[in-house]
């Protein structure tokens, strides 16, 4: 026959055992978030054996055996440009600003391409002269798209990231109809 106190003691022991079990499982939130560029360059820990349990989309797996360090595939320049530009979404347009807290159109493109190791001038017309011309129908993500006195970064599917005008923020928008050209920084 179970006594009332025994049931509570068993429940307490079970709760402690459960807490110890969950404390031993790595958390997806255990590592601090890193900047876009640091995260891309950091190696990923992957299991050395095929037996995997747990873990979702974090690059970590709980398994029997040791951990192996496998480097991530390096990001292309266009991926760096797009990741950098996306990180600026919502920041205000300020004439002649080139980041990191505010941008004008050419300041944003200059900032994003600088993160990929390419220096561009701070002027949309000068940027068009400094890039290799690309037919608009052959643009690839990361290419610059030019308008009269304006520039944006093509992200694919007919959209771009740009710093539109005073009073607006860096945004993703459809390509405008008055495109005068496209260019690919080298």
Identify the pLDDT of residue 73: 86
Residue, of 26 and 113, whose pLDDT is higher: 113
Q: What is the distance between the alpha carbons of residues 84 and 115, in angstroms, rounded to a whole number? A: 7
Residue 39 zone, left/alpha/beta (φ > 0; ψ -120 to 50; rest)? alpha
* Domain formed by 77-184, architecture: Alpha-Beta Complex (3.90)
Q: What is the distance between the alpha carbons of residues 182 and 137, in angstroms, rounded to a whole number? A: 9
Rounded mean pLDDT of the chain? 79
Least confident of 47-51, 111-115, 148-152: 47-51
Q: What is the distance between the alpha carbons of residues 85 and 89, in angstroms, rounded to a whole number? A: 7
Identify the pLDDT of residue 64: 55
Identify the pLDDT of residue 86: 98
Q: How confident is the model at residue 160 (pLDDT cuts 50, 70, 90)?
A: very high
Query: What is the domain partition of the chain in residue ranges?
Result: 36-74, 77-184
Identify the pLDDT of residue 39: 46
Among residues 47, 49, 48, 50, the alpha carbon closest in space to that of 58 is found at: 47
């Amino acid at each position: 026959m179970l006594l009332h106190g025994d049931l509570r003691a068993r429940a307490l022991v079970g709760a402690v055992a459960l807490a110890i079990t969950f404390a031993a499982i790595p958390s997806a939130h255990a590592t601090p978030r890193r900047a876009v560029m640091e995260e891309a360059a950091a190696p990923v820990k992957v299991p050395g054996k095929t037996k995997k349990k747990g873990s979702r989309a974090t690059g970590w797996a709980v398994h029997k055996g040791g951990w192996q360090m496998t480097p991530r595939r390096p990001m292309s320049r266009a991926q760096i440009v797009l990741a950098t530009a996306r990180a600026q979404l919502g920041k205000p347009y300020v004439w002649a600003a080139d980041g990191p807290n505010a941008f004008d159109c050419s300041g944003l493109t200059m900032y994003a391409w600088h993160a990929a190791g390419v220096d561009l001038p701070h002027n949309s017309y000068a940027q068009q002269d400094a890039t290799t011309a690309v037919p608009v129908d052959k643009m690839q993500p990361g290419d610059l798209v030019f308008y009269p006195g304006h520039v944006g970064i093509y992200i694919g599917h007919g959209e771009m990231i740009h710093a539109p005008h005073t009073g607006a923020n860096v945004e993703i928008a459809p390509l405008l109809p008055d495109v005068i050209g496209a260019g690919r920084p080298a």
